[in-house]
A and B are shown apart, each in its own frame.
Chain A
Amino acid sequence: MKKYAMLINLDTCVGCNACMAACATENQTPVWNPEKFRTYVYDEEVEVNGKFIRQFFPKLCNHCDNPPCVSVCPTGATWKEANGIVRVNPEICMGCQACAMACPYDSRYGATYDDIKRAGTEYGEAFLKRDVPSVDKCDFCYDRLEQGLEPACVETCIAHARIFGDLNDPNDLVSKAVASGRTQALMTELGTGPNVYYIHTLPESLV
């Protein structure tokens, strides 16, 4: 069994947003609302030792090992698969958004009736991947994985900053990076067990 994870190299990300665009197209997200992307690349200004640097910071669902979003869901519409992917079934979800409240990473948004209607005109009624309102989030591009493809954001990442892998394969690049102890996940102190790892060395000139 695989255990999927993502590694993000903060050193190479150039903030091009190709990942956001690829994800939005692949997953037909309601892009007309800038708050409804499955992944974001934050554009930040950070002070290190009195100097300022620009830092891009991609975020997406962490596919937590102990996902609070799953434990609060009253319908079972969101669950964690054995391969590590936390998914949402729009056919079951009633859209209470408790999961979105529970997610400490802001990884979920609600797709409303209006969103679905607009999606019909933008993405083609007959070609919709989701036709009922529900909460939505990154699913590591489940359909693509099934087809043997990498997640859309990873495939297109201009800077090879998003790297997809299998933690159960010790030879996998992501596994090796995680094993090296040099990666870090977000807010692990909450006990969520996130599976998106970040790696970063600051410019030598600043440290």
Chain B
Amino acid sequence: MNTLHFATSLATQDRWGILVAAYLFLGGMGAAMIAISMIIHQYFRADRVLTLWGTLSGEAMLGVGSALLLVDLLHPTRVWEILLPWNPIHVPTSWIAWGTQFIVWAMVCGLLYIWPLVLEEPTLRRIPLVGPLVDRWFNIPIIELIGGIAVLFSPILAWIAIACGVGTAMYTGILISSFPGATLWHNVLVPPLFTVSAFSTALAWLLLVQHAVLHRHDGFGKAFERVDMVLIGIEILLVAGLLFVILPSNISGQATLHILWHSAGWVIGFLGLGLLIPFLMEIKGVSSGWKSGFPVALTAVLVLMGGFLLRQYFLSSGVYAFQWANADHQSLINAGIYRILTVH
């Protein structure tokens, strides 16, 4: 007979904070955006401007996101190790290793893919002050040569970028789900949820670009809205599955639920404003259309906000269920979960 009694206590982490949440958000969205841009350019004849907007903002998001992560590292200069292309071979189980390669290659191939488009884009050469400089660089033979080669390989580049973009979007979820300590993280719904959310936010961004920057109301806008509506629908199902099926299954999940249901940022911010309202608005937009571009742009902003809040709450509400108290006395008493005895 085993008389070992373990008390369980619960704790959230504070290692990965807002910077990592921003990284996961920007990374997923940026990578998805590169993938979408490649697809619409290769197969749906998206024009140069839309493609450049999509790809370059995707590149920027990946760049900024990665930079944020770098800041968060204890020893940032060591990062070169994971940039080496063969790194995943040494650490095949590490999703960060794979994810880094996805990011790198999505960025590289995306950039190469749009290289010729960049060279062609006159607005770039007209930017005040730097325009003349850009003009001169773009005429450097090697730059032009790269552009030429890129055209030759454009389908391959597109496919690598798409694969890596999707990979990156998925990886952000798989990474989180490889942390077994918390039920919120360690379950099969997380990778699809993060992937769907990445694409949904990327589409939202593109919608925003379409409506707020380019002021276009073409077929792409409609298509983005439709797809986004479907994605958000799926996201709602995934979130519901998580909230109603997975989290209630054990104490870590229950504690997460407790936190989430008591957080206005999650309930109002994410579920309400970031998910349900945009879903309803997109249903309306898709079925009966809007009179102006403003509701579409607003919806897009809400989706983006929701995307960030999802990551932020994911990181901050994953609850480790430690056997024996790790958290401080006060928070245990306050949480009303002190002295829970489980007999194994």
Contact = CB atoms under 8 A, between A and B. Distances in A.
Contact of A101 (B13, B97, B326): B13
B245 interface: no
A94 B83 CA distance: 12
A93 B75 contact: yes
Given A186-B323, A202-B5, A97 B95 contact: no
B309 interface: no
B7 interface: yes
B212 interface: no
Interface residues of A, number: 53
A95 B74 contact: yes
B100 A74 contact: yes
Contacts of A39: none
Given A97-B15, A100-B15, A110-B74, A47 B341 contact: yes
Nearest to A95: B74
A73 B7 contact: no
Contact of A72 (B11, B74, B178, B325): B178
B91 interface: yes
A133 to B, nearest CB: 4
Contacts of B78: 75, 92-95
Nearest to B16: A101
B339 A94 contact: no
B246 interface: no
Given A105-B322, A186-B323, 12 more contacts: A48-B341, A74-B96, A75-B87, A75-B97, A94-B79, A110-B15, A135-B74, A181-B2, A184-B6, A190-B181, A200-B3, A200-B4
11 contacts: A45-B339, A46-B339, A71-B93, A72-B179, A74-B87, A74-B91, A98-B94, A100-B15, A101-B13, A113-B74, A202-B5
